[in-house]
Amino acid sequence: MAERKATNKYYPPDWTPAKGSINKFRGSHPLRDRARKLHEGILIIRFEMPFNIWCNGCNNHIGQSVRYNAQKSKTGMYYTTPIYKFRMKCHLCDNHFEFQTDPKNLDYAILNGARRQELRWDAKDNEQIVAEDKEVIKKLATDSMFKLEHEVEDKQKAKDVEPAIEQLESLQKRWKDDYSFNRAIRKTFRTKKYELKATKFADRSLLKRSSLPLSLKLIPESKEDSKLAKLMKLESTKCKI
Ligand SMILES: [Zn+2]
């Protein structure tokens, strides 16, 4: 954006401190180009797409975090919180989107020009632990009957999740002594490694002795095979006699 570049501190020779600030002297706003529509109550800001959308003009998917130069203006109030509207042009077509802050739901609402890709879910359905919202906290502080009922509910909830917590605890205990656990694993691994090395060496020497290619893969020896081989040897000697 151009206004970011206009940060030089040049003071023309005809300027004197009596003429006020350099912005006043030049007749420009400190926010430069971003304030060009300020008389209409619009400030130009950088807006980051808060969720995935589809543009209604070109039907292209626009991902979350894509940034636009947007015109920000105040449209109303939600109690003491101002509601802002953001208007920006699609970077792929001539369509404009309009977003509005939604302080009630701590979210953004699309006014027009786009469709939201629904990726919202209820954390409670997902078996996640959800913090109490402000209204419940307020009621807990003021309504003693509600507090009592809430406590009963909480206790029941704690009872329900107890087996799962116990299971987690026992699992954690099992891996608690990670030094000896690590040592045991490394020992097993080391033994296995030596075994593999020894087998590889034996295989290689066997292949060399038999003048077979070294790339040939041998299957592990089995007792039955060696027994059978011995028997065959015996028979062949018998035949010769
Ligand atoms: Zn578009």
Going from the Cα of 117 to the center of ligand 1, the distance in angstroms, rounded, reads 15
> What pTM value is reported for the model?
0.50
**Is residue 231 scored above 90 in pLDDT?**
no
For 85-134, the pLDDT digits (tens) are 999 999 999 999 999 999 998 899 999 999 999 888 777 777 777 777 77
Residues 6+ apart with CB under 8 A from 123: 130
71-90 mean pLDDT:
95
How confident is the model at residue 136, as a pLDDT?
86
192-210 mean pLDDT:
91
Return d(Cα 81, Cα 156) in angstroms, integer: 38
How many CB atoms within 10 Å of residue 86?
19
Going from the Cα of 59 to the center of ligand 1, the distance in angstroms, rounded, reads 6
**Is residue 232 scored above 80 in pLDDT?**
no
Pick from 103, 97, 92, 102: nearest CA to 116: 97
Going from the Cα of 113 to the center of ligand 1, the distance in angstroms, rounded, reads 9
Q: Is 97 exposed, middle or buried (0-12, 13-18, 19+ CB in 10 A)?
A: buried
CA–CA distances in Å: residue 12 to residues 22, 28, 228 = 9, 14, 105
Going from the Cα of 106 to the center of ligand 1, the distance in angstroms, rounded, reads 26
Going from the Cα of 45 to the center of ligand 1, the distance in angstroms, rounded, reads 20
Going from the Cα of 76 to the center of ligand 1, the distance in angstroms, rounded, reads 28
Residues 6+ apart with CB under 8 A from 125: none
pLDDT higher at 2 or 23: 23
Going from the Cα of 91 to the center of ligand 1, the distance in angstroms, rounded, reads 6
Return d(Cα 113, Cα 93) in angstroms, integer: 11
Going from the Cα of 94 to the center of ligand 1, the distance in angstroms, rounded, reads 7
Going from the Cα of 101 to the center of ligand 1, the distance in angstroms, rounded, reads 21
3-state secondary structure of 67: strand
Position 26 confidence tier, pLDDT thresholds 50, 70, 90: confident
Tokens, residue 192: 């296995």
In the 8-state DSSP scheme, what is residue 220?
Answer: P
**Is residue 64 scored above 90 in pLDDT?**
yes
CB 30 within 8 A of CB 3: no
**Is residue 45 scored above 80 in pLDDT?**
yes
Which protein residues have a CB closer than 5 Å to ligand 1 (ion)? 55, 57-58, 90, 92-93, 95
Q: Which of 82-96, 106-120, 167-181, 203-217 is predicted least confidently?
A: 167-181
Going from the Cα of 89 to the center of ligand 1, the distance in angstroms, rounded, reads 8
How confident is the model at residue 74, as a pLDDT?
95
The position carrying tokens 């109303």 is 76
Return d(Cα 57, Cα 201) in angstroms, integer: 70
- The values of phi and psi at residue 221, to 5°, are -65, 145
